[in-house]
Each structure stands twice: as C-alpha cells, then as structure tokens.
Amino acid sequence: MGLGKTIALEHPEWRCQCIDLDSADSTESNAVFLVDELLNPSLENQIVRRNAMRLCARLVPYRPAETSKTLPVRQHGHYLICGGLGGLGLLLAKRLAARGARRLTLCGRKSASPEAASVIAELEQLGAIVHVNQTDITDAGQVQDLIATASAQSPLTGIVHAAGMLDDGVLAQLDWPRCRRVLAAKTVGLQYLHEYSLHLPLEFFIGFSSMVSLTGSPAQGAYVAANCFVDGLMQQRRAEGLSGISINWGPWAEAGMAARLDDKQRLRLSSLGILPMSAEDAFRALDRLWPNPPAQIGIMDIHWPSFLSHFPGASDMPLFESLRQPSARTLTTESAPTSPAAWPAQLESTAVADRRSLLSALVSAEINRVLGAESNRFIAPRQRLFDSGLDSLTAVELKNRLSALLACPLNTTLLFDYPTLEALTNHLATMLPVSFEVIEVAAQATTSSAIDEQTAALDLLSQQQLEDLLAEKLGLIAE
C-alpha cells in the first residue's frame, strides 16, 4: 500500500488506488469486489475489504484520555533501542534515563560516533548502565544474539525500533538495490525483532514510523513503503494481543534525519505547513498516549490549512475529509493562488497578445511556489530550472500542479524535456485550448484566403488549359 500512495502522488494521471482484499474471504467474492471498484472508480484511494465491509482510510484527530499517564519507565526495566546510536535513538535514551531507566541497550551497525559516546557518558552520569551492541537487525542470527545477550543481562521490558535510512528518488529513478537498502531495517529488521522477542513480557514495543506513511510522499516511494510495514506489523501485534504501537512522527528539530535536511528541503516542508518538533513536545505527546495507546498514531507539528492547500491532491483526498473544517476550507481557498483548471479561463479572458507573458508569469509563480520562494522572484527565461533549485521531487510536484491548473495530463519527463521557463511556457501554450499566435493566425488566414482565390481561378479554366498548366508545373519539377 505504501508504494501505491507514492504512485498516486507522482502519477495522479494513473489514478492509482490501493485496495486491500480480504484473505479470509473467497477468491470469487474478492474478485467481484475488485471488479466493482474498477468499474465504479471513486476518489477513495485507500480501501480495505474486511468481513464483507468496504472500509476507507480517514485521518481523524486523536483525543487522549483525561487520565493519561506516561510511557511506563521502570528503574529495574531494561530497554532496547534499535537505531539507538542515531539522532532520535539518543534523544530517547536520554529521556528514558532521565525518567529513571537504569539499563539501556543501544544498537546500530556501526560503533558509537563521538557524539553518541558523549551522550552515553551523560547517561552513565545519570546512573544508567549502557550496553552498546553492534548489530545489523536485518541479520536473523545477529538479532537472536542481541536479544539473548540483552535478556541475559536483565530481562528486556521495552523495545523501540528507531532504525532506518533515507534515500529519496522518484519512482523512475528507483532501482531494487536502492529500495532494498531503505526497506531492509524497517521490514526484515522489524520482523526479526518481533519474532525473536515474542517470548518476552514487554510493556511496550514502539515502532518509529513516519508521517509520510499516512500522507504518502512524492520521491519517497521506498521510505513510505518501509514505514507502512512498521504500521502494519504493529497493527498485527495488537490484533494478536501483544504490545505494539507505531508512531507516525513528523520531523524532529534537534537531531536525526530531518535535522540533517538542507535549507531547501526544510523550506519545502514549512511551505506545506510542516514544522520541526522539539524533542520535549514529541515526548510529551508520546506520554499522553498511555495507559491505553492506540496501535498507530501520527504525532507532528502541522498547520493543516497550509498542508491541505499545498500538498498535491490533498484538497480532494477523502483521507483528509475530517481535517477540512470550515475554517480550514476558507483558508485553503484564500491561500490557494488559483483553483484547479483555472488557467485556460484566465488566459481566454486576456488579450491574445498578452497571453504568452501571462502564462510565463503564472508558470514562474508556480516554480517559485514549489521551491518555497517569493511568488514574484525573477526567473531568467533561459536559465536551466534544475540549476536554480528544482530537483526530481519538486519537478514532480510542479508537473502535478501545472497539470491540475491547466486541466490536462502532462508527461512525467516534462521538466527534463522543457528545462527552462521559456521552453516550458512555449510547450504549455501548445497544450492549452487557447490561441496564443496573433501573427500566425493572421498569416494562416492570408494563406488560406490565397488558396481559396487560386481554387476559384482554377474553376474558370477549361480541361485543356488545366492539362497545359499541369504539364508546365511537372516540367518545372522535372527540371
């Protein structure tokens, strides 16, 4: 389902829908359901069939219990953090130690970096015993050893899976080795941790997933799929009566993957209304989920009206239905520069001679929008857009926005085929049902009226005169 969410965003023209059939039901019954979905397409793109019911995904606000407590952390507990030497792993280790945990096992494939070593020294000063274990959790034998070694020191009471990696790229650029690297720790690694810890009486088993597995994310197909696996496995654990929760985190401010993003990527997130969270806010939100944590929840600092108006397709996606409050809707309309399919009408009502420059200005504003720049920032007409900040991710976003505004499908290679503002504008002009060519239209009119006159003159000639004229023309060609 994860990859499907990205396909839907990168290629809206394919109308990708994710349908999860019911393995407990017959093939015939599932086939009837599937055909019905295919013959009656809807805007729903995350559909699950269970117990003869059609269930569609919705994001809804979560209301914690009035009597919420905190993540259970005990002095005599033993906490394993996979990915514990990474940004969020270390922040969590500090939090657990500050809350009284006295035994922590932190694992990663590499040994502790100088930064991790200094955090470990801090933890030890707080009185914690810290074991650093170099384990690749995608190796079954290493995971068995990790759990056996940790349990022998002191029974494990909590596991956090915070291992993962990013390697972004649009679907057309992805190959299996790249996908496998991103998927491995969150699929194979998590599965091993789950299987080899089944005998342990864990108070919690937390999967660090990402908000992108809720919303989808262009150019992050493998990462979205990897995080969807975390969500699915935690749902499965809960259905089996085990502890388990998947947190779809938004970006964190202090450390980790999001803190390492460059300015352009940060700007892109903030233009979507997604802000980096402080660790304090993140842990406070995590605490409020206890004593009855849901199987999956998103924790993020997000301004929904901005997100709904700028995230591709979000304004129509049923997933966000309950987040489109009247106030959010008003803001969405106000902050959106143009409504979908607005350009043809806008251009039509402009003088023909001014249409190309208007189109150029509109395209330029959209380029600036996806780059998070001021809408009137000057873009040199012949400068390569990929040299002025556009990348494969923003190219997909731009292509999708232009397609919606022009109300016509556009090729995925649009920005590669027409890499400058000028080339792009000229190409888009040919895609619109609006005339741009004042002079050409007049010239064509002259040409066609000249042809009409010639035809009328030929009508006046006799058969012999026509044959002579033809012979003369053929003679000219032969010469």
Binding site for ligand NAP (CB under 6 A): 82-83, 85-89, 107-110, 135-138, 162-165, 184-185, 189, 208, 210, 249, 251-252, 256-258
Nearer to ligand NAP, 82 or 415 (CB): 82
Cβ neighbors of 10 (< 8 A, separation 6 or more) are 170, 171, 218, 219, 221, 396, 400, 412
As measured in angstroms, the least distance from the Cβ of 78 to ligand NAP is 18
Least distance from ligand NAP to the Cβ atom of residue 139, Å: 8
Q: What does the angle CA 458 – CA 461 – CA 466 come to, to the nearest 5 degrees?
A: 80
Chain-centroid distance, C-alpha 60? 19
CB of 8 to ligand NAP, least distance (A): 21
Query: Within 11-139, where are the H helices?
Result: 27-39, 87-98, 114-125
Q: How far is the CB of 87 from ligand NAP (least distance, A)?
A: 3
Choose between 69 and 110: whose C-beta lies nearer to ligand NAP.
110
Half-sphere exposure of 347 (CA within 13 A, CB side): 27
The distance of closest approach from Cβ of residue 177 to ligand NAP in the complex, given in angstroms and rounded to an integer, is 15
Which of residues 21 and 166 has its CB atom nearest to ligand NAP in the complex?
A: 166
Q: Which is nearer to ligand NAP, 247 or 395 (CB)?
A: 247
CB atoms within 10 A of CB 439: 9
**In the bound complex, what is the minimum distance in angstroms from residue 112's beta carbon to ligand NAP?**
9
Closest CB 166 distance from ligand NAP, rounded Å? 7
Nearer to ligand NAP, 166 or 373 (CB): 166
Q: How far apart are CA 332 and CA 304, in angstroms?
A: 9
Q: Provide Rg for the chain, Cα atoms.
A: 30
250 CB-contact burial (10 Å; exposed 0-12 / middle 13-18 / buried 19+): buried
User: What are the φ and ψ backbone dihedral angles of 328, each rounded to 5 degrees?
Assistant: -65, -40
- Min dist CB 147 to ligand NAP, Å, is 13
- Residue 284 vs residues 83, 279, 299, 363, 389: alpha-carbon distances, Å: 21, 8, 10, 43, 37
Contact between 328 and 304 under an 8 Å Cβ cutoff? The reply is yes
Specify the residue, 158 or 419, whose C-beta has the smaller distance to ligand NAP: 158
DSSP assigned state of 384: B
Nearest to 319 by CA among 97, 32, 118, 60: 60
Residue 347 Cβ vs ligand NAP, minimum distance, rounded to whole Å: 41
Query: How far apart are CB 163 and ligand NAP at their closest, in Å?
Result: 4
Q: With respect to ligand NAP, which residue has the nearer C-beta, 135 or 403?
A: 135
Smallest distance, Å, CB 161 to ligand NAP?
7
As given in the structure block, the two tokens for residue 142 are 């290493």
Please state the closest distance from residue 202 (CB atom) to ligand NAP, in A: 19
Q: What is the dihedral of CA 9, 12, 14, 19, to 10 degrees?
A: 50
Nearer to ligand NAP, 224 or 347 (CB): 224
Nearer to ligand NAP, 108 or 158 (CB): 108
Closer Cβ to ligand NAP, 219 or 405, answer by number: 219
Chain residue whose CB lies nearest ligand NAP: 86
By C-beta, is 90 or 415 nearer to ligand NAP?
A: 90
Helices and strands (DSSP H and E) totals, the chain: 20, 12
Decide whether 185 or 245 has the Cβ nearer to ligand NAP. 185
Contact 106, 132 (CB under 8 A): yes
Phi, psi of 32 (to 5 degrees): -60, -45
Cβ atoms of 221 and 6 closer than 8 Å: yes
Dump the DSSP string for 327-350: HHHHHHHHH-SS-TTHHHHHHHTS
**H helix intervals, 185-256:** 190-196, 212-215, 221-239
What SS3 class is residue 323? helix
